[in-house]
Structure 1
Amino acid sequence: MIGEIVVFILTYFLIMVRPWKLNEATGALLGAVLMSLFLQPHHILEALGFSTEYGTPLVTTWNVVLMLIELMVISTFLDDYGFFEYCAVKAMHLAGGDKKKLFTYTYAVTCFITAFTSNDIAILTLTPIILKFCRRAGLDAKPFMYSFFFAANIASMFLYIGNLTNILIGDAFKLGYFDFTVYMFLPTMAAIIVNFVIFYYMFKDEVRGTYPMSCDVNARELIKDRPMVAVGLAALVLVLIGCGFANWLTLPLSVVTTIGALAIYIAERKPVMRTRRISWRVVVFVLSLFIVVKGLEVSGVNAIVGGVILSIVGQNPVYTTFFISMASAFLCNVVNNIPMTAMMVPITSGIAATPEMALAMAYSLVIGSNLGANITITGALAGILWLECAKAEKWSTGVSEFIKTGLIVTPVVIFSSAMVLALELCI
């Protein structure tokens, strides 16, 4: 057990500190290689989502990763042909020089794009757009960057495929695709509204007044190829709806995302370029973390943690909702949200003795794994991507300043979302 814990801590150090200029994927891969020394071959297969004669994995990792890759294909396709940039610039123009309207519209567009793609895609796409616009209009970028980042992590709770952690949780707990949205719609809306109100008053002085309108960007001209954008939107709609039917038919959701990705490849006819746009670092990062976390499970660490959680919440869904939402959110900032989710899924599913407890555990984990990214920049991969994109545009924020904001805003937002979820579970 001690060896596995040491490897886990070392992996976390390599991911967070990134010594010798290692990226997070390389750090996770090195951790996976070291953890493999403590595992049997069948453990590694199970970590990757394959059943063996020794057991059936809780999460079908290969299905989750395949979905992740294919959703990247669809999202980067729409991004490359200017759809997301069009949405963002259109919203900025609609604000008509009013800073408060611009603040509101930026927040709303971020929620819209994130809800139907993912927080990572929204962050990668919108960060440079917002910074360039703020620079051109002479605006303080901080209110817009903070509100947009927080909104991206909140809105990703809405759909089953809105965040990688959602897919992990949904797959492990066998959550219904449409049921997921039914349960998470109101908690997500509560979080969006509460977060916006807090930020609106927090930055009220910075977003007061007007800014000069720039006419040098025509939003329509940002769409590089309308037929291609139509294909991308059709593929996205197919995935959003088709995954629900696949779930109902008990088919892997990757069946639908594969069809959507193939439609993109066939329409574009640039397979090499499109494949290069996939963030393979993220894929390696995720696969490696599952092997690292498998080591903790095999060593018995998960059982100990599960016993502690059970002693605190018992089998009470309401207690569970608040405790798991808060605990998992703060745990994201200890081990990052993806390994936190991969570690907590088998723990929480193993101690849920009733269907009500299973639902409380699952959806509380969704809240925590998404909103935990808003406490510190390193709480999720999204924060690391956000800071890297911002630095490329010569903008940055202090780590202590971000943490101060996160600790003020996020616990209130988590509590609001958890309270709505608890009411849903009671009703």
Structure 2
Amino acid sequence: MSTATAEFLSVVLLVAVLACAVLRPRGIPEIVVAGPAAIVLIVTGAISLRHAIDETTRLAPVVGFLAAILVLAQLCNAEGLFHAAGTLMARTCAGSPQRLLVLVFGTAAATTAVLSLDATVVLLTPVVFATAARLGARAKPHVYASTHLANSASLLFPVSNLTNLLAFTTAGITFVHFTALMALPWFVAIGVEYLVFRYFFAADLAAGADKTPVVTQREVPVFTLTVLGLTLVGFVLTSFVGIEPVWTASVGAAVLACRALAQRRITPAGIVRSAGIPFLLFVLALGIVVRAVVDNGLADAVGHLLPDGSSLSALLALAAVAAVLANLINNLPAVLVLLPLVAGGGVGQVLAVLIGVNIGPNLTYAGSLATLLWRRVLRDHDAEPRIGEFTKLGLLTVPACLVLAVVGLWLSLQVFGA
């Protein structure tokens, strides 16, 4: 196969895979298109078998971690953690939508950081809907906060996002170093989001609640919170000795699984379903498809747009390119394309790309898989978001978050080193 033909076939199949992921025609799983696309590219020689195996091997620990964290999040849900959070928010906000927004921001940021962005959009968003309904408050500001913070609040830990794990592996730094460098960008991004939300949804927040909530005291799942805390400590400690995060997450999930099974809160089949095996296979197949596009010319085309060095202007340019690419082809393919190109440029370049692919997706529906999942949750609640409103909010938040988060990264690099 000629290079031009291989490039054309790779691009066409990548577009088809992403279109399936975005549109989900008839609800078919993403792997139904992505799997055959990867096979076609291997059989036709658009990507060599060796490169396909290399890409699968590179992604395997990341996909394993994703499975473990999805199980861990679902077990936390089975233990009542998210319902307890909703009860606490309803009681603490005292009927004030403004206070509720603050609590949703804090809960969503913490959930995203520790349990990853998928837990925020899939498990927390329904709780936010229920909490707003209990108060009689308008749900829109609070459910929009779920998706925005699922993306922009996923900067803090290597385990907060699949893209973070890929960047973490590429950067070759410890868990603590990663967190130290990304803490300021994380705080800045959340702060900008909150200020814009207070302005953008001022009318909804000023409307007030129309009922006094009846809040039943719900027991705080202390055991679950303890396991989560120890798991997070485990991520930190094991990073110093080179143990992959998947093993720590697996231990935490196993502990909660044993308890949930013993108490019959979940079934073995439920645990297997919560791992999202079709989605995991989709990630592996997508990696192969993206690698084929990269091998056949995309790397060279994008490489010409990337600046050298770790100056503030270079980091801003990298984040901007990453954000644009994430909105064109989704953030996971974007990070798979960009990380090999900046791997030799230092930690600053890798993390600037990460800021772009994590914050940038708040601009369009197709920017991240988490946003696509969030749209499905809203459809289930007959609250389909309007594309114009979503985009307008993104235009107000994304540029400011990107610029200030990158400035925060640049300052952190001066303090903590690359």
Match of 2:406 among 418, 422, 426: 418
Describe the shift of the 1:3–1:277 C-alpha distance in structure 2 as closer, same or farther (beyond 3 A): closer
1:14 corresponds to? 20
- The correspondence for 1:282, drawn from 279, 284, 303, is 279
Contact 1:84–1:113 (CA<8 Å) still a contact in 2?
Answer: no
Gap change, CA 1:331 and 1:390, over 3 Å in 2: same
Correspondent of 2:71 among 65, 70, 73: 73
Which residue in 2 is equivalent to 1:338?
Answer: 332
In structure 2, stretches of 5+ residues that fail to align are 1-6, 262-266
Give the Å deviation of 1:256.
1.8
> Normalising by the residue count of structure 2, what TM-score does the alignment of the two structures yield?
0.90
Give the whole-Å Cα distance in 1 for the aligned partners of 2:166 and 2:54: 14
Q: Does 1:309 align with 2:301?
A: no
8 A contact 2:75–2:253 mirrored in 1: no
Correspondence for 1:383 among 358, 371, 392: 371
Alpha-carbon distance between aligned partners in 2 of 1:382 and 1:77, rounded to the nearest angstrom = 19
Structure 1 unaligned segments of length 5 or more: list them: 50-59, 353-357
Decide whether the 8 Å contact of 1:157 with 1:370 is kept in 2: yes
Distance 1:17 1:274, change over 3 A: closer
Asked whether the equivalents of residues 76 and 82 of structure 2 are also in contact (C-alpha less than 8 Å), the reply is: yes
State the Cα distance separating 1:387 from its structure 2 match.
Answer: 0.8
Residue 249 of structure 2 corresponds to residue 267 of structure 1? no
Identify the match of residue 84 of structure 1 among 75, 82, 85.
82
2:253 is equivalent to residue 247 of structure 1: no
Cα 1:273/1:157, change in 2 over 3 Å: same
Residue type of the alignment partner of 2:295: V
Structure 1 residues 9 and 215, CA gap change in structure 2 (3 angstroms): closer
Specify the alignment match of 1:47 in structure 2: 55
Mapped contact 1:318–1:360 kept (Cα < 8 A): no
Deviations 1:52-72 (A, max 9, x none): xxxxxxxx3111111111111
Q: Which residue of 2 aligns with 1:328?
A: 322
Contact 1:85 1:125 in 2 (8 A): no
Q: Which residue of 2 aligns with 1:238?
A: 230
Percent sequence identity over aligned pairs: 25
Could you say which residue in structure 1 is the equivalent of 2:160?
A: 162
The alpha carbon displacement at 1:217 in A equals: 4.0
Q: In the comparison of the two structures, how many residue pairs are matched?
A: 402
**Contact 1:78 1:84 survives alignment (8 Å):** yes
Match of 1:140 among 122, 129, 138: 138
Structure 2 residue matching 1:220: 3-state secondary structure: coil
Taking the aligned partners of 1:36 and 1:287, their CA distance within structure 2 comes to 14
Deviations along 1:76-135, one digit per CA (max 9) or x if unpaired, are: 101112112211221122111122112222222211222221111011112212223333
Q: CA RMSD in A?
A: 2.0
Larger mean CA deviation between 178-187 and 101-110 belongs to 101-110
Q: Give the secondary-structure state (helix, strand or coil) at the position aligned to 1:205.
A: helix
Q: 1:262 to 1:144 in 2, by over 3 A?
A: closer
Tell me the secondary structure at the aligned position of residue 108 of structure 2.
helix
